């Protein structure tokens, strides 16, 4: 969402690309700049032409990532955004987690082979030095296309040992894997999934604080990554 991206545009000193580096009809909005000797492109999904709100969910995330990988050929993709966190896995409002793996929790296909395909679980590239340097919490990021969840979503999140619930990373992981491009994910917690309040109430209350947490974490994370090999992260 732009509410998550625009504070980072400011703190990273990026400029909006006019025209977007991703051509229409894709509605993606791109921002570019350089810092610490690396080129940085921040790519947002853009707005839905029908409903006027930000495009969210795994479908826009996968499309945007695929097109951004083709247009920009980056060495690394970083999925940055807000998320729900599991208190049982140590999450508190405003924490930033780094992903140890990705999975889907709302793709139920009980057919041989397709059951695992639906979940599409995969590990994230380990980043122990980055995690220590920035004192980040870590855990599995599970993605689905609803802000709330049903019992089957819950069961799959538990089966995946999810610490974080959001709506994009698994789609991004799939598109990044097609291109063979490594992916990191940094997710700031707006709401507690295993708490007692509706996600939408906590999300709206804590969105600005979580965006600030990303503003404090993402620039130093990029500085840490700059000039290092994947193995050094």
Catalytic one among 4, 54, 95, 166?
4
Binding mask 56-95 for ligand ADE (x = CB under 6 A): --------------------------xxx-----------
Helices 2-11/199-225 angle, 10° precision: 30
Q: Count residues binding ligand ADE (CB under 6 A).
A: 12
For residue 83, the minimal CB distance to ligand ADE (Å) is 5
Complex with ligand ADE: residue 40 or 98, whichever CB lies closer: 98
Which tokens hold the place of 88?
A: 């049982």
Task: Determine the interface stretch with ligand ADE among 43-51, 87-95, 132-140, 186-194 (rule: CB under 6 A).
Answer: 186-194
Catalytic one among 54, 106, 191, 202?
191
Binding mask 149-168 for ligand ADE (x = CB under 6 A): ----------------xxx-
For residue 149, the minimal CB distance to ligand ADE (Å) is 7
Name the closest residue to ligand ADE (Cβ). 84
Q: DSSP labels for the chain?
A: -HHHHHHHHHHTT-EE-SS-SS-TTS--EEEEEEETTEEEEEEE--B-TTT-SB--SHHHHHHHHHHHHHHH--S-EEEEEEEEE-GGGT--TT-EEEEEEEEESS----STTHHHHHH--EEPPP-HHHHHHHT-EEEEEEE-S-SS--HHHHHHHHHTTEEEEESSHHHHHHHHHHHT--EEEEEEEEEETTSSS-HHHHHHHHHHHHHHHHHHHHHHHHHHHTT--GGG-
Complex with ligand ADE: residue 107 or 165, whichever CB lies closer: 165
Which of 40, 193, 211, 214 touches ligand ADE (CB under 6 A)? 193
| Residue 203 interacting with ligand ADE (CB under 6 A) | yes
Task: Establish whether 155 is a catalytic residue.
Answer: no
| Residue 54 interacting with ligand ADE (CB under 6 A) | no
Integer Cα distance of 105 and 121 in angstroms = 10
Measured in Å, how far apart are the chain's first and last C-alpha atoms? Answer: 27
| Residue 103 interacting with ligand ADE (CB under 6 A) | no
Task: Establish whether 10 is a catalytic residue.
Answer: no
Residues within the interface to ligand ADE (CB under 6 A): 82-84, 147, 165-167, 190-191, 193, 199, 203
Q: Which residues are catalytic?
A: 4, 191
């Amino acid at each position: 969402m732009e509410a998550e991206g625009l504070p980072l545009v400011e703190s990273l000193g990026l400029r909006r690309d006019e025209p977007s580096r991703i051509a229409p009809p894709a509605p993606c909005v791109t921002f570019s700049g350089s810092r610490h000797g690396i080129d940085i492109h921040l790519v947002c999904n853009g707005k839905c032409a029908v409903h006027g709100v930000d495009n969210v969910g795994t479908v826009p995330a996968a499309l945007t990532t695929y097109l951004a990988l083709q247009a920009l050929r980056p060495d690394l993709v970083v999925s940055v955004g807000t998320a729900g966190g599991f208190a049982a896995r140590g999450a508190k409002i405003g924490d930033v987690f780094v992903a140890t793996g990705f999975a889907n929790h709302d793709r139920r296909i009980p057919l041989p082979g397709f059951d695992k395909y639906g979940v599409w679980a995969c590990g994230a590239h380990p980043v122990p030095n980055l995690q220590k340097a920035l004192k980040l919490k870590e855990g599995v990021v599970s993605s689905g296309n609803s802000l709330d969840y049903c019992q089957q979503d819950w069961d799959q999140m538990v089966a995946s040992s999810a610490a974080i619930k959001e709506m994009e990373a698994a789609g991004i992981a799939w598109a990044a894997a097609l291109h063979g491009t490594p992916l990191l994910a940094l997710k700031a917690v707006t709401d507690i999934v295993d708490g007692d309040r509706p996600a939408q109430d906590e999300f709206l209350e804590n969105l600005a604080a979580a965006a600030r947490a990303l503003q404090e974490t993402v620039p130093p994370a990029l500085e840490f990554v700059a000039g290092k090999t994947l193995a050094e992260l």
